[in-house]
Structure 1
Amino acid sequence: MFDLGWTELLLIGIVALIVVGPKDLPGMFRAVGKFIGKAKGMAREFSHAMNDAAEGSGVDDIKETLRKAANPMKSAMDEVKKSTDSMTRDLKESVTPPLSEERQSQAEKIREKAAEMATSRKAAEAEAETAKAEAAAPKPKAAPKAKAEAAAPKPKAAPKAKAAPKAKAAPKPKASPKQNAGDKA
């Protein structure tokens, strides 16, 4: 559309800043953006309307005819290629012979072997995954000996037989006050 480089846009921005002023500059850019958006929308609508009118009037058929007339060799080769593709597809479908019984049994054995190998591969993968998961699982750390002993339940000792009650010693006679006074002297 317009051939504006960075220097031209910078110059336009500086002039707009001087003329409009820094206060009104964002509002102006917003209005310019809306105007450009509306212009692009109108151009898009016009383009779609023209394409619809061209399709309705058969311009595509004329365009194809002109293309074929401009390059007749290419258009002829395209037609030959289309017809040969359809013929080769038809021939492949009709020429493929059915398999003999021997070939069918061989094919069945191959399918069975493939299924067997697939199941064994899946089993091996599952074993590898479990081994990997076990290896990645955190192992419990050994507790220090003191903590391990404290945490371990202590075995209960067998109940001791009760000893016979001890005989009480005879009470000492109380000293008389006279004796206590003599002791002090």
Structure 2
Amino acid sequence: MFDISFSELLLIAVVALIVLGPERLPKVARTVGHLMGRAQRYMNDVKSDIQREMDLEEINKLKNQMQDAANSVRSSVNDSVNTIKDPLSEAQQALADLHKPLDTPTEPAAATEQKAALPETAEAAKPAAAATPDNASKAKE
């Protein structure tokens, strides 16, 4: 961490023994050890917090990618469904158009034959009516 060799550490210990004295040196060494431990724990906490934040950012990026992929899949499925629905609705409309003439009530065939025959009989009846003497006098009037 500090890149201190053993000889440098031994020199610092000798200077501390001379400056502090043999009575206070163990107490100071213990205090320095506790402070160094706290500093290491604090550095580890900071590193872990940074790592968690980086992991959280990566997870959020992954989440966004997954949401984009899900939206893409959803839109392609919707497009596929729409391409299937359009011809299907056209086919249903065509079937409905085919059933419309069948659903409407039609006149019986005999009635249509009678209607077709009526104008002919009415025209045929006119000359016959004119040929009778009563009708001939009415026609002259």
Compute the TM-score of the two structures, normalised by the length of structure 1: 0.31
Greater length-normalized contact order (CA 8 Å, ≥ 6 residues apart): 2
Q: Would you tell me which structure has more helix in proportion to its own residues?
A: 2
